[in-house]
Structure 1
């Protein structure tokens, strides 16, 4: 079960992919899951290809934060190792903001204006680099990302709905148990232990209601 995006149990699932009009109940939910998987398989390779192209043509933003001090490493019986001064960088905007907050908290009152001015300049540098970086994104990458995300949400919603589904007939109880027990490389419904117990309880209730006379 893809728990990272699975909606809260009993929440009405939002599924964005059409289901054939002649299907209903569990069969419809399974069809919706299959449709969502198909959308992921359609758009994920597009996103991967465009992302790879982007990574080869654009450097991610990084803002120089300062220079480390030159150092010497001394070990018994070993030659002295000189470590030269090197530049260090911020690799996210949040890291710059965190650096500013820390520097201001540790600074004397008379130094805070200069620190603030320095970090304003660093943030402006970051924003300029980020704008240039985003301008190089391949056409269609943002759309592909949205479609993959949408498909994954639909996939998770369909999985959650199948787990919570209460069979209305013996045939549906059989269908639910058989589907939950599928195995193989092309199986995309993989409930966890808790989900399997929910499925078994729901199937057992249907069997008790419709099959034990």
Structure 2
């Protein structure tokens, strides 16, 4: 007999990861991630404040002369031409110098040209390292400590994320917890796996399902 009664929707259990009833392997990893995030939130503002104070008092930051631009003429319709004189240009980071070196080596088509590139950029890198060492020698201890703490916290954050991605649930409950956590959303969710990470998580959860005879 047909009735107009609508079946009650199934209740989906809600997992409170902040206050777990049973300490599981996943919960321990989530706790590690939360602790790392807390350390970043503690030290990052300190580093930002001290870095700003240091930049305001330390003088010019390192920069290495990369070369000279060519003089050129800017032709503007209805207006006089504008002469642009040649001028020095500078590298403002070691990464930029290394990228310039890679580009120059890729463009060099002879052994002699590559040797010249290597020699030139060895000088530029040595110049940068000397300037940076002198600049950092003026850094106050508090800022150096804050930088170390932020870097340490970020490493712990990354390690915790990797451990969660590689976590292998053994029961249906653990598989559900893993999938539920990976799918969480919101401003205070700090675990944001990429596509390949999500695939790994789903494979690990599927393995747990198969282990329980649900394949």
- Residue by residue over 1:65-91, the C-alpha shift from the partner in whole angstroms, topping out at 9 and shown as x without a partner, is 777787665667643534456455554
1:40 aligns to 2:40 (yes or no):
yes
CA distance in structure 1 between the partners assigned to 2:42 and 2:196 by the alignment:
31
C-alpha contact 2:65 2:89 (8 A) present in aligned 1 = yes
Moved more, 126-135 or 139-148: 126-135
Using the size of structure 1 for normalisation, the TM-score is: 0.63
Q: How many residues are matched? A: 177
Distance (whole Å) between structure 2 residues aligned to residue 123 and residue 157 of structure 1: 31
Q: Summarize deviations over 1:92-113 as a string: whole Å, max 9, x none.
A: 5785x96xxx9xx78xxxxxxx
Q: Under a length normalisation based on structure 2, what TM-score does the superposition of the two structures give?
A: 0.62
Higher RCO (CA-CA < 8 Å; seq separation 6+): 1
Quote how far apart the aligned CAs of 1:194 are. 2.2
Native 8 Å contact 1:170 1:211 kept in 2 = no
State the match for 1:174 in structure 2: 176
* Alpha-carbon distance in 2 for matches of 1:169, 1:39: 32
Which range is displaced more, 76-85 or 202-211? 76-85
Indicate yes or no: 2:196 matched with 1:194: yes
Q: Distance in 2 between matches of 1:166 and 1:66?
A: 54
Quickly say closer, same or farther: Cα 1:84–1:146, change in 2 above 3 A.
Answer: same
Unpaired segments ≥5 residues, structure 2: 1-21, 102-107, 114-118
RMSD (Å), alpha carbons: 3.8
SS in 1 for 2:139: coil
Q: Which blocks of at least 5 consecutive residues in structure 1 are unaligned? A: 1-21, 107-115
